[in-house]
Amino acid sequence: MKVAAIQMVSSTRLADNLDRAGELIAEAARGGAELAVLPEYFCLLGQRDTDKLAIQEPFGCGPIQRFLSGMARDHGVWLVGGTLPLTVEGSEVPPQADRVFNSALVFAPDGRCVARYDKMHLFRFDNGAERYDEARVLQAGALPHLFELPSVDGHVWRVGLSVCYDLRFPELYRHYTAQGADLLLVPSAFTHGTGQAHWELLLRARAVENLACVAAAAQGGLHENGRRTWGHTMVVDPWGAILARREADGEGVVLADLDARQLARCRAQLPALEHRRL
């Protein structure tokens, strides 16, 4: 299966970001991608954290979700909408005007939304110069989520969803592997400093320890709000080898072929998943 991990440098303007995402999705489709993954916050990296609140949508309707549905349908691809802000609602979580979910939505080639994952782990970082605390405007998700993708290669890929900071919590990915996941997605907006130190290391570790493919679409460059993200969008195979990677800042599409037969060989040759004791 050919997968496209899309790198962006999202701006403070929703319409511009959707236009650019549409162009990159079209490029991915022309390249033969069956699955395209947008980065975290593909629709907006605002001047302030609270800018997310102004563009929030209830799950199931809204211009961002209509855009994603239309792109999946128009190009005949499975599309993972990086993340977008969804309104906190429902019986399990009380409505909060000052919080949104940071959600990854999956759309099938017919435009249906088939999966939703709300980011579970919320990033906080303070090195004296940079300070981030996602909990100020985000509501943490409660549950992992995976979906099935029947590929033209004949393999039904079981795909585990995660977002950015989740990458530091290996138990989430082990949960997915225990549920049969063989592809792990990590749309992200890693800071430049943490990305430089840990991005590749963590992605390859998650692939190796779970004997799974990993596709990580990233924000990558200097944004209008002054934030600099690490980029280096990449796809990793179950042996930890990098199949494709974007080395430079800036927008682009990273294409890679995932081989279900290689995945099966890796798991047969080194059956570490069968040897777990905990």
Q: What is the pLDDT of residues 65-118, one digit of tens each?
A: 999 999 999 999 999 999 999 999 864 555 566 899 999 999 999 999 999 999
pLDDT of residue 130: 81
Angle subtended at Cα 44 by Cα 41 and Cα 46, rounded to the nearest 5 degrees? 115
Question: How far, in Å, CA of 76 to CA of 152, rounded?
Answer: 12
Give the containing element (helix H, strand E) for 257: strand 252-257
Per the annotation, the verdict on 2 as an active-site residue is no
Per the annotation, the verdict on 52 as an active-site residue is no
Helices and strands, number each (H, E), in the chain: 6, 17
**Listed residue (12, 5, 49, 4) closest to 218, CA to CA:** 5
Pairing of strands 213-216, 146-150: unpaired
Per the annotation, the verdict on 119 as an active-site residue is yes
Pair of tokens at residue 245: 């990677």
pLDDT of residue 89: 83
Contact 43, 6 (CB under 8 A): no
Contact 238, 203 (CB under 8 A): no
Residue of 2, 27, 34, 40 marked catalytic: 40
How buried is 179 (Cβ within 10 angstroms: 0-12 exposed, 13-18 middle, 19+ buried)? Answer: exposed
pLDDT of residue 91: 47
pLDDT of residue 119: 98
Pair of tokens at residue 91: 């019986």
Contact 39, 6 (CB under 8 A): yes
Q: How far is CA 144 from the centre of its chain?
A: 13
Instruction: Say which CATH superfamily domain 2-274 falls into.
Output: Carbon-nitrogen hydrolase (3.60.110.10)
pLDDT < 70 regions, the chain: 90-97
Residue of 2, 52, 119, 251 marked catalytic: 119
Residue of 43, 164, 213, 266 marked catalytic: 164
Angle subtended at Cα 56 by Cα 142 and Cα 87, rounded to the nearest 5 degrees? 35
